[in-house]
Structure 1
Amino acid sequence: MIRVLIADDQPLVRAGLRTVLSADPGIEVVAEVADGREALAAVERVRPDVALLDIRMPGMDGLTAAESLRAGHPALRVMIITTFGEDRYIARAIDAGVHGFLLKSDDPYELIGGIKAAMNGGTVLAPAVAHRIVRVLHGGELRDRLEARSGMEALTPREREVLALLGAGLPNAEIGRRLHLAEGTVKIHVSAVLGKLNLTSRVQAAIYAYRAGLIPPS
């Protein structure tokens, strides 16, 4: 059972998210709160597997809460679901190391698949968000690519393969199947890649893989 906390200041949105998530027998909504500070307290109290946060909330906003939760609860899957897909919000969420950035305008039932993917080690981006990230990266300077390729010299051949598959957005289980590795071994490689490249999340690893030329700008 995947235990989910919902943080959104609009009661109707919380009710809608609860209805969608409760349709899956493998997901349980264990807490609903209206701002970031309440989310921090609720995580300590109920220990969810996933925290689903809106961005704009009174008191503490969702991005500030995400930064705090990622720092204090490394095992917690933190996901943003919002109306606002602005570049500055996306960039800050990526820096915080969130496991997903979804838009409320997307099909709500895709949220269930996104939560399950995050629990399996994946990172979930709304299509519009992924497009904006690639567009920004595609317009970057050659220097970024050269720096990324230089940093890859610290990786072993296997770690480079793992980085490329991280760039494709694959969860650990699928990476293991493609490389014929145990999932535990994949986790070790992922940790090594993030550590050697000084990255804090799989989203950052995907961006790095793009800059290094390991994946196309699709």
Structure 2
Amino acid sequence: MKISEKEQRKIRVVLLDDHPLVMEGLRNRLEKEPDIEVPRTFGDPRELLAGIEDCRPDVLIMDIFMPHMSGFELGRALKERYGHSLKIILLSGYTYDEFYNKAYELGVHAYLSKQSTYAQIINAIRQSMLGHALVSEKMLAKAVDPLTPAELEVLKQVAEEKTNKEIALLFSISQRTVEYHLNAINQKLGVKSRIGAVVKGYETGLLGSLPLTEDDQR
């Protein structure tokens, strides 16, 4: 049977977690996405090391603390073997600075809280395939100046697709002032466009969680 072009483009995601219920819930949700497939799940890092060649994933989503080997140890071994061809997303209930630093030094594409929504995880998968590393709001605050309250309000209006003129009328300021705010926002977030600022705003949590899809609300 000939494989369609659409099926060939699917992102192959492998899951590693020693909590079966959590893993199966995520697997079931990911497989509802037309561009994602989950060829296999693992409950033990040693099993993954032995079986990863058979499934050749694009993305690995895993917990940090597991039996026999930590996610950091496993990630280092996999990065040495596969380099950037394997995207790694860490899910953890811990938000210590040292964990963030260690993860991004290792070369992971995202370090997400286990409280993340399915929409945020799916976004991280797709962004990782574009080569983007998602940096948390906590890490961003250490890397750049935080947005002022006025800049954050402007960013929220941009996310709602308001024009510069509409934003100026809403806050009783000039369009030139809106432009100044947007330039400052782009510089602080390290982006070059309105769309880039909104994407970074959601990635870092400045704009809250990504809007939920109908499937996420079920």
What's the TM-score once normalised by structure 2's chain length? 0.59
Shift of the alpha carbon at 1:33?
Answer: 0.7
Give the partner amino acid of 1:56. F
Does residue 1:78 correspond to 2:84, yes or no? no
Shift of the alpha carbon at 1:86?
Answer: 1.5
2:118 equivalent in structure 1: 108
Does residue 1:50 correspond to 2:59, yes or no? yes
Does residue 1:132 correspond to 2:138, yes or no? yes
What do residues 55-86 of structure 1 show as CA deviations (whole Å, max 9, x unaligned)?
A: 01111111111111111102111111121222
Higher relative contact order (CA 8 A, sep 6+): 1
2:200 equivalent in structure 1: none
2:4 equivalent in structure 1: none
Give the partner amino acid of 1:132. K
Partners of 2:191 and 2:114 lie apart in 1 by 21
Partners of 1:87 and 1:35 lie apart in 2 by 26
Partners of 1:6 and 1:27 lie apart in 2 by 13
| Structure 2 SS opposite 1:73 | helix
Between the aligned residues of both structures, percent identity stands at 32
Alignment RMSD: 2.4
Partners of 1:124 and 1:169 lie apart in 2 by 13
Aligned length: 142
Gap runs ≥5 in structure 1: 140-163, 175-218
What do residues 63-116 of structure 1 show as CA deviations (whole Å, max 9, x unaligned)?
A: 111111111102111111121222121111111111111111121222112101
Gap runs ≥5 in structure 2: 1-9, 146-185, 197-218
Shift of the alpha carbon at 1:169?
Answer: 7.2
| Structure 1 SS opposite 2:38 | strand
Give the partner amino acid of 1:43. I
1:62 equivalent in structure 2: 71
Shift of the alpha carbon at 1:16?
Answer: 1.2
Partners of 2:140 and 2:123 lie apart in 1 by 22
Partners of 1:120 and 1:94 lie apart in 2 by 17
Partners of 2:29 and 2:95 lie apart in 1 by 21
Does residue 1:168 correspond to 2:177, yes or no? no
Give the partner amino acid of 1:77. K
Q: Which entry has the higher C-alpha Rg, 1 or 2?
A: 2
Partners of 1:121 and 1:138 lie apart in 2 by 21
Shift of the alpha carbon at 1:134?
Answer: 3.3
Residue of structure 2 aligned with 1:118, choices 112, 122, 128: 128
Give the partner amino acid of 2:32. A
